[in-house]
Amino acid sequence: MLNKFTIKPLLQLLVCFILLLQLSCADKTSLKTVDNLTISEGFKNPLGFYDAKPTFSWELPVVEGVISQSAYQIVVASSPELLPSNPDLWDSNKQSSSQSVWINYEGKPLESRQKVFWQVKYWNQDDKASNWSPVQNFELGLLNNSDWKAQWIGLPTKEEGVLGSQDNIIHRPQYLRKGFELANDVATARLYITAKGVFDVAINGEDVSDDVMPPGYTPYKKRIETITYDVTDLIESGQNTIGVEVAAGWHSGRLGWMKSYWSDTESPKILCQLEVTMKDGSKASIISDDTWKATFQGPIRISEIYDGETYDAHLEMPQWTTNNFDDKNWKAVQAFPVTSAIKLEPKRHTTVKSKMVLESKEIILKEDASIFDLQQNMVGVPVLKVPMKKGDTLKIRFSEMLSPDGTFYTDNYRSAQSTDYYIAAKDGTIEWMPKFTFHGFRYVELSGFDASKTPSKDWVKGAVQYSNFDENGTFTTSHEKLNQLQNNIVWGLRGNFFDIPTDCPQRDERMGWTGDAQVFGPTSMFNADVYKFWASWMQSVRESQYDNGGIPFVVPDVLHNGKVSSGWGDVCTIIPWKIYYRTGDVSILEENYDMMKKWVAHHQASSTDFISHMNSFADWLQPYPENGNNKGDTSHSLIGTAFFAHSARLTAKTAEVLGKSEEQATYEALYKSVAKAFENAFFINGKVKDITATQTSYLLALAFDLISEVNKENAKVQLLEKISEADNHLRTGFLGTPLLSEVLDETGEIDLMYKLLFNETYPSWFYSINQGATTIWERWNSYSKTEGYNPMSMNSLNHYAYGAIGEWMYERIAGIAPLQAGYKIIRIAPIPKAPLTSASATLNTPYGEVASSWEIKNETLFLEVVVPPNTTAEIEIPADDSESLKMDNEVFKESKSVLLISSKEKNIIKVLTQPGTYKFQTKYSL
């Protein structure tokens, strides 16, 4: 029986049912929402974010009915409950635009600590609306030094340090702790923390994170990165304890091969600020100050990046980060205020993590040691599970390759001791991995373990550590050695992207050498999601630029010699432009434009009548140099002038993108003046004059467009002669090698480029593979199975520069390249050649995944292509004749989605496609 008490609830249920029915109907008529929502350089729901003026990006879904975007709407609010109807921070309203990436936030100013929520919807090509996306969020870190109430704290380890193997002061790792009490239940808690050094932090006995050696490596006298952790679940009402370990790291350890580089190091310190909001709305703040206590009498006795870590289990302090620990014998810390001299900013790329673990594959038993082979050159630390006797010391050494006679080889580590020690406190199996160091190695040698035990493979594993990025592309072919080369490129990237792009990960350098970085940047962008990594390091490059516009050899600049090098300093123009062209994000150009201009001005100041006299490492490690010099035979002046012109041209292109037409004209004119001077000084009728002619001299002239049109053909002929003189082998070093494939491709010498790529003998990419390489080497002949290591002291087996060939492999063998910045228009143009019978690649572009896969069977080419939504693709299909073209097993016919734009042009059929998956086949003979 209905009454006034039952009618109202029934009416409410009826209203809810009608609303749900309406929503259900709406969902059926609305398009699927967007995918992969990110802000700025690809961050997903970040905590402790650095940018109060972010950009927004998304990918359109791969579904029927979605070809492109005609409009979008973004809503931003301070609470998810306000979305999408009542955004209080920003409502873009419906914007008629196909842009789905890098859209600037134009709402109310955002502040430190602020948590922000956002959603987006789009309209497709038919003006049909999508559903709103799931709510996304980001939370800002502490953006200003004034936000920090904490103080830098630590012990004076410089005064009480020990002397290292290179007469360097070794700062004892410190253990710092603070107990605190909270009267109410915790709603949220954020830990803002950083160090002058590297740290690990725990609360109430629980690790706060699995970060490796945070906060990372920046120009410490200019900027130190801070990190934000959500520690809500680690803190409770009542008594709590926070404990922090801090070691020297890059800040206070020795860096470089000369004492002058690291003789004046500051004692490591931490800075942390724990901010807690209670459920009753009250707040509490626990800061680092002089009330903390500390000791350096903990188990980690020594920890240095180059020299390794020593751990004494006798000094372990169980539960030292909990309430149940007595620190009465610990010392009071020294405290120092935060000043404006060093900028504190949230970290703008991902921390280093242990990304994977490798198993030992083989054990080599020696009389006094055992060698464990992981069969992959890697970077990180050993994970040990080893039986020991009380009081014994386990010695752990590392090597990239054994000598041919099987002996352990470490000479190429130079002064880096790269040795860990573990001192056992009791009999039994120890489980340990170092915390504040890293090594480059394939082999691990153990000595000092329980001699009564037979070594087994599970004693040693390898924790592979690098900055926490994901893979961004894949590449595979029918050729085993080419696949190994791709694998070596990827492992070289993993091994040298340890918070900054390093030259090598094992010897007494591990620095951000700028020349290595500029040649490898584009290849890295294909293999890994490293935009944020590069953007962060480019900030360090800007901060390291000299007052005269010069760019140091290494960034961060630990050499402090004021010197520059052409081809190395040009990283400041090349990397921003290459990143822009692969992402379409104008902000990377905006951030670096002033630096680019200052560097070009430095080029000009280092030249006379546009001819450079800048110092140069030149075509570093060119094989068979006539002069016997690591810098090779190519004229330093020619190289400097070429890069002067190239940087001027890239700066002109940047000015054009940024809408600075007058400056664009100025730099374009400068480029033309330098190019003219270059040709007059170094060439006559397309042939090098008055200096040693090298492959690289011609490659620079052709790649940077420095030869007049009438002389280009002869310059090409001269280049081919130099290659022929070398028995169709390369004679290029760091600067020439990345240009080799580009120039030979553009001049139509594809067969020759394939020959160079697939050469088996020295110097070639496959030579190192034939010698057992699992990473890219520093030298073309760093090691041989018969003769062992190259005797030169500078000889890394993990050095990514020559991996720059990867760019050509992806863009021309597989055939995926941008025709418009950010892959808004994609070029699919594979060039199948013997000995390959198939190749395929995928790439995550800002608009979604693009794929290209080809295979040749019975003189028929099968090509499958995937084009993501909101883009178009120009596909070049190799063919013996245009009449044989089929699509989806049918004779090719034009349609709304596929348009024939040319036929039989150099045995290439070109089609223009909308998004979708396409399967082509043509007659084609290798």
Sequence-separated (6 or more) residues with CB below 8 Å from residue 308: 302, 396, 417, 418, 419, 420, 421, 434, 437, 439
223 to each of 346, 539, 817, how far by Cα in Å?
A: 10, 10, 36
Q: Which residues are catalytic?
A: 509, 778
Q: What element of type H or E holds 808? A: helix 806-808
Encoded tokens for 65: 């009915």
Q: How far apart are CA 313 and CA 294, in angstroms?
A: 19
Residue 323 near residue 240, CB atoms below 8 Å: yes
Report the alpha-carbon angle 275-281-284, nearest 5: 30
Q: How far apart are CA 128 and CA 622, in angstroms?
A: 58
Q: Is 456 exposed, middle or buried (0-12, 13-18, 19+ CB in 10 A)?
A: middle
Place of tokens 């690291």: 262
Q: How far apart are CA 647 and CA 412, in angstroms?
A: 35
Q: How far apart are CA 734 and CA 720, in angstroms?
A: 20
The type of residue at 357 is V
Positive or negative, the CA dihedral 550, 552, 558, 560 is negative
Place of tokens 């070691």: 247
Q: How far apart are CA 188 and CA 184, in angstroms?
A: 12
- Pick from 394, 404, 377, 409: nearest CA to 455: 394
Q: Which residues pair with 421 in a beta bridge?
A: 310, 395
Q: How far apart are CA 698 and CA 898, in angstroms?
A: 40
Q: How far apart are CA 584 and CA 497, in angstroms?
A: 23
The type of residue at 50 is Y
617 to each of 409, 516, 635, 640, how far by Cα in Å?
A: 28, 11, 11, 10
The strand pair at 838-845 and 473-477 is best described as: antiparallel
Sequence-separated (6 or more) residues with CB below 8 Å from residue 24: none
Residue 287: CB atoms within 10 A of its CB come to 19
Q: How far apart are CA 556 and CA 678, in angstroms?
A: 32
Main-chain phi, psi angles of 288, to 5 degrees:
-75, 125
Residue 543: CB atoms within 10 A of its CB come to 17
3-class SS of residue 376: strand
Residue 760: CB atoms within 10 A of its CB come to 11
Q: How far apart are CA 192 and CA 344, in angstroms?
A: 11
Encoded tokens for 534: 């590069």
DSSP assignment letter at 667: H
3-class SS of residue 419: strand
Residue 515 near residue 571, CB atoms below 8 Å: yes
3-class SS of residue 661: helix
Main-chain phi, psi angles of 41, to 5 degrees:
-85, 30
Q: How far apart are CA 170 and CA 840, in angstroms?
A: 50
Residue 268 near residue 251, CB atoms below 8 Å: yes
Q: How far apart are CA 52 and CA 503, in angstroms?
A: 33
Encoded tokens for 333: 């810390």
Q: How far apart are CA 89 and CA 262, in angstroms?
A: 48
